[in-house]
Amino acid sequence: MNPLFKPLLTQSLKTTGIYLLIIALTLAISATTALKFSNEQIQNAVALQAAEMLAADLVLSDNQPLEKTWQDQANHLSLKQSQVTTFSSMAHTADQFVMVNVKAIDQAFPLRGEIRVVPQAAKIQAGEVWLSSRAMDLLHVNVGDTINIADGAFKVSAKIQHDSNQELGFSGFSPTVIISQADVAKTNAIQVGSRVEYRLLLAGAAQKIQNFEQAFKQSQQKIQNKTALNPEMNDQNGLKLRNASEGNTRLMKPIANLDTFLQLSNILTILLCGIAIALTSQRYVLQNQDNIALMRCVGASKSQILSAYLLLLAGVLFMAMLIGSLIGVALGYGLLQLMLQLIPHLQIQFSALDMLLGPLPIAMLTSAVVLLGFIVPSLWQLLNTPPIRVIRQQEKSVQSLLWMLLMGTASLVLFSVVLTENIILTAWVIGAIIILCAVLYSIIWSCLKLIRRLKWSISAYVRAPNQTAFQITALALGLSLIAVLAVLRTDLLERWQQQLPVGTPNQFVYGLPPFDMPVLQAELEQRNWSSTPLYPNIRGRLIAKNDQPFSNELLKSNNTLRRELNLTQTAEYPTDNKIVQGSAVLHQAGDVSVEAKTAAELGIKIGDRLTFSLPEGLIQAKVVNFRSVEWESFSPNFFFIFAPKTMDENAGSYLGSFYVPEQDKKQLVSVIQQFSNTVFIDVSLILDEIKRLVNVLVKIITVLALLVSISGILVLIACLNLLMDERKREVALLRSFGSSKQKLKQMMTLEIGFIGLLAGIVACLFAEVISAVASQKMNLMVQMHWEIWLILPVLMSILCALIGRYRLSYLCDIPPLQSLREINQ
C-alpha cells in the first residue's frame, strides 16, 4: 500500500472537508437514484390514468368490421383484448323516444379503468341494459323497467355511476346506454348506411404495445402508397389506431407538461448535486494544500501523492456509494409511498431490483465522474505547487480553474442527457446556465474591482474580487435552481387553472337544425346559461390551392386533406383564437382564416386561393390571416373560418357549447326534449377526470420540488462553508493585531450580508432566464416573477449576515494562536 495513504487518511479524518464530501456524494447518489426511479414510476402511473379514458392502451377502430388478422397480431404479442361496438339508435318506452349512443361491450371490458354501476354488478349480461343518468331522466325509467333499443327489448339492470371510458368526440355523445356485445344483432339497429364504429381494445406491456403500433404503421403505409392517387379510396379506409395521447389531447397536455417538469427536476437535481460536489471537493483540496506542500518538502514524488489521494477518494466514493445506495432505495420507496398517500388513484409498484439495475448504477457513475472532473485538475495543480507554498499563500491558477470547470461541466452535461433522455431540454437549460454564469461572473468581478478601486467605505469589504465573484455566482446558482421549480410550479398551476376556469362549458350541442337555432339561443338566455356563439357547421373537403391539387406527398402525410372538415362562417372568432399573421378582419364573402399550424403544414400563404368541395358544389376563398387555436379548450374550434355569406348556412347545422351550473342540471332534461333532432354532449365527466388528474399533477410537482430543494440546501451550506473558511484566517489575524470583537462582528455581518444580497439579486436573474427557457419548452407564457425579486435578495442578505455574525463570533472569544490552529479543521 502507498506509504502516504495512512497519514493522509488520519489527517483528512481530522478535518470537516472529507465528511462534507462524503455527504455531498451520498446525497448526489441517493437523490438522483430516487428521483429518476420515482419519475419513471410516476410517468407510467399517469400514463395509465390517461389510458383509462380509452379503457385501453390502444384502440383500433373502423367503420367496417375489423379483420381477424389484427386479433391474431394481438394474440401473437400476448395483448389483452376487448371488442366494443358503438352506434346511435333510438331508445324508447311507451311514451318517450330518445336518440342515444349505444356502446356494446364484451365481458373483458374495460381493459383499463373501471365501470361503476348502481346496484353493483361486475359484468353486464345478455338482455340487460345500463343507462347513464341523463338517459334515465329523458326516458323516465328506473332500475327494473323495460326499454326498447330499436327492435330489441331490454331490462334496465343498473344506472351508470362512473365510466372511466369517456372520450370527447361527436361520436361519443350522451345520453349513453351500454348493452352486451351479444345483443347487437338483437337490436337490428345496424343497417346499410348506419354510422357504426367497431373497436378492438388492446392493453399490455409497453414494449408489446409499441410493437403493435409499429406493425400497424407499416401496414397503413403500404395502403397509403397504393391509394395516394385516389382520395376516395382513402375515405373507404377508415381504419384508425389511437393511443392515450391521441384519444384526448385535453388530457395529455397537462401530462406532457408534467413529463417536461420531471425531466427538468432531474436536470436541476444533477446540477445541484454537481455544484455541491464541486464546492465540497474544492474545500477539501484547499484544506490539504499545506499537507501536499509538506509532503513535497520531505521528498514525496508527485505520483506517490496523486495515487494516495486517488486511493483516498476511491474509499470516499465507496463509502458514499454504500450509504447513498441504501438511502436512495429507501428514499425512492418512501417517495412512492408518499405519492400513494397523497394520490390514492395512482397505480405505482415498487421494485428494489428495478432501482438497483436502473437508476442506481447511473447515479454512482455520475457522482464518480463529477467528483473526478472537479477534483483532479485541482490536485494536479497542487502537485505542481512549489514547496514555498508552505510559508506563502499562492492563488489557484486560472488554467487550473478553467480545466476544473470544463471537466466538471462536461460530466454534468453528459449524465444529465443520460438521466433525462432529452438532449434538447438539457442543452437549452445547461447552455443557458453556462452562458449566464460566464456573463454574470464577469459583471460581478468587474463591479467588485471597480468598488475596490474607488476607495469607498464599502471597498474595505472587497478584498479578493475574483474569489468573491465566484462565491456569489455559485451561491446564486444554487439558490436560483431551487427558485426555478417554485416559479414553474406556480406557472403550471396558473396554466391549468386558465385551461379549466370556473364556468368552462360542460355541454356541447351538435347537429342543431337552422330553424331551431334562434329557439335554443333564447332558451340559454332565459336560463342565464353562459354559452359560446352557435356556429354554422358545414362539412367540406379542401382539394386545391391556387387551382392546383395538393401533392401526393401531402395527401399521404396530412390527414386534413384526406377527410371532411367542419367548416364555419362568422364575423367573430372564438375567444381563444389569436391572429398571428395577416388582417384580423374578414372583409368580404370569400375571405377565409386558416389555423396557423395547418397553414404551415400545407404550405399555405396569405393571399392564396383555396378550393373546397361542399355538398352544394365547389367554392373558392382567399386566405387573409392565420390564427393560433387552443384545441385544449372546451369551446368549438375550426381549421377554416369563412367570412359571412360565403356559404349557405342552411346547408348544414349549428354547433356550440354552454355551461350548466350543477343546480340547474335537472332543467337540462326539459331543454333536450325540446330539440329531439339535436345531439347534446355532456362533457362534465371528462372535465371531472381532467380536474382530478390536474390535482394529481399538482401534488406530484410539489413533492418533487421539495425533494430537489434538499439538494439545493446542501449547495447553500457548501457555499457558506467556503465563505466561512476563507474568513476564519482573517478573523484570527485581525484578532492577533488587536481588533475589537464588536468591530469584527460588524465587519463579518456587513461583508457576508453584502455577498448574500448580491447573490440574491443574481439568483433572481438566473431563475428568470432558466424558467423562461423551461416555460418555452412547456408551452407556458414567459413572464416575470416579481415576488422572487422582493424575497430572495432580502432573505439571502439577512441569512448570510446572521451566519457571518454568529458562525465566526466564537473565534473572537478564543486566543488568536488557538484560532490559527483551527483554521483547517
Cα 360 from Cα 32, distance rounded (Å): 8
Q: Are residues 10 and 64 in the same domain?
A: no
Return the CA Rg of the chain. 34
Q: Are residues 452 and 494 in the same domain?
A: yes
Residue 662 inside a domain? The answer is: no
Return phi, psi of residue 353, to 5°. -65, -45
**Strand-pair partners of 41:** none
Cα 547 from Cα 299, distance rounded (Å): 89
Residue 677 inside a domain? The answer is: no
Residue 508 inside a domain? The answer is: no
Q: Are residues 33 and 62 in the same domain?
A: no
Cell numbers at 210, concatenated: 409499441
- The DSSP code for 464 is -
Apex 600 CA angle, 595 and 604, nearest 5: 85
Number of Cβ within a 10 Å radius of residue 396 = 19
Cell numbers at 237, concatenated: 379506409
- Secondary structure of residue 582 in the 3-state scheme: strand
Of residues 277, 794, 727, 752, the one with CA closest to residue 472:
752
Q: Are residues 40 and 106 in the same domain?
A: no
Angle between helix 741-777 and 465-499 (nearest 10): 40
Return phi, psi of residue 421, to 5°. 55, 30
Q: Looking at the 3D structure of the chain, how many domains does it have?
A: 3
Q: Are residues 464 and 344 in the same domain?
A: yes
Q: Are residues 554 and 482 in the same domain?
A: no
Chain centroid offset of residue 424 CA = 14
Of 607, 633, 657, the residue that ends a domain is 657
Cell numbers at 633, concatenated: 379548450
What pLDDT shows up at residue 237? 55
Cα 730 from Cα 715, distance rounded (Å): 24
What pLDDT shows up at residue 56? 85
Cα 597 from Cα 80, distance rounded (Å): 37
Of residues 314, 467, 285, the one with CA closest to residue 383:
285
Cα 253 from Cα 633, distance rounded (Å): 11
Query: What is the torsion angle, in degrees rounded to the nearest 10, for the CA atoms of residue 17, residue 23, residue 27 and residue 28?
Result: 40
- Spell out the residues 6+ positions from residue 498 whose beta carbon is closer than 8 angstroms to its own: none
| Residue owning grid cell 373501471 | 114
What pLDDT shows up at residue 787? 84
Of residues 533, 635, 538, 624, the one with CA closest to residue 577:
635
With beta carbons less than 8 A apart as the criterion, state whether 680 and 240 touch.
Answer: no
Q: Are residues 463 and 606 in the same domain?
A: no
With beta carbons less than 8 A apart as the criterion, state whether 99 and 177 touch.
Answer: no
Q: Are residues 469 and 549 in the same domain?
A: no
pTM of the model: 0.59
Cα 179 from Cα 154, distance rounded (Å): 9
What pLDDT shows up at residue 285? 73
| Residue owning grid cell 344506472 | 159
770 sits in which H/E element: helix 741-777
Q: Using CB atoms within 10 A of its CB, is residue 459 exposed (0-12), middle (13-18) or buried (19+)?
A: middle
Residue 670 inside a domain? The answer is: no
Residue 521 inside a domain? The answer is: no
Cα 644 from Cα 587, distance rounded (Å): 9
In order along the chain (825 residues), what is the average pLDDT of each group of 10 residues? 73 73 78 71 67 80 88 91 89 84 90 86 89 86 91 91 62 73 90 82 87 86 62 57 64 63 72 73 72 74 79 84 81 71 60 67 74 72 62 51 65 67 75 80 83 70 69 76 75 66 78 89 89 89 90 78 86 86 87 92 92 88 90 80 87 87 83 79 69 66 65 64 65 70 75 81 83 74 82 85 70 63 53
Residue 270, amino acid: I
Q: Are residues 695 and 753 in the same domain?
A: yes
What pLDDT shows up at residue 300? 75
Cα 429 from Cα 412, distance rounded (Å): 12
711 sits in which H/E element: helix 684-736
Residue 216 inside a domain? The answer is: no
Of residues 241, 244, 167, the one with CA closest to residue 200:
241
Cell numbers at 728, concatenated: 476564519
- Secondary structure of residue 540 in the 3-state scheme: strand
Residue 441 inside a domain? The answer is: yes
Specify whether the backbone of 724 is left (phi greater than 0), alpha (psi in -120 to 50) or beta.
alpha
Q: Are residues 400 and 321 in the same domain?
A: yes
What pLDDT shows up at residue 180? 93
Q: How many secondary structure helices (H) and strands (E) does the chain include?
A: 24, 21
What pLDDT shows up at residue 172? 47
Cell numbers at 622, concatenated: 382567399
- End-to-end CA gap in the chain: 27
Q: Are residues 17 and 94 in the same domain?
A: no
Cα 766 from Cα 483, distance rounded (Å): 9
Q: Are residues 493 and 590 in the same domain?
A: no
Q: Which domain holds residue 585?
A: 532-657
Residue 292, amino acid: I
Of 212, 228, 247, the residue that ends a domain is 247
Cell numbers at 610, concatenated: 383555396
What pLDDT shows up at residue 127? 92
Cell numbers at 306, concatenated: 496523486
Q: Provide the H-helix boundaries in 393-464.
A: 398-420, 423-454
Residue 385 inside a domain? The answer is: yes
What pLDDT shows up at residue 138? 84
Of residues 100, 248, 174, the one with CA closest to residue 665:
174
Of 634, 657, 680, the residue that ends a domain is 657
Return phi, psi of residue 565, to 5°. -115, 155
Cα 548 from Cα 255, distance rounded (Å): 40
- Secondary structure of residue 131 in the 3-state scheme: strand
Contacts 24+ apart (CB under 8 A), 346-354: 346/42, 346/45, 346/46, 346/49, 346/696, 347/45, 347/48, 348/41, 348/42, 348/44, 348/45, 349/41, 350/41, 354/37
The residue count of the chain comes to 825
Return phi, psi of residue 394, to 5°. -135, 125
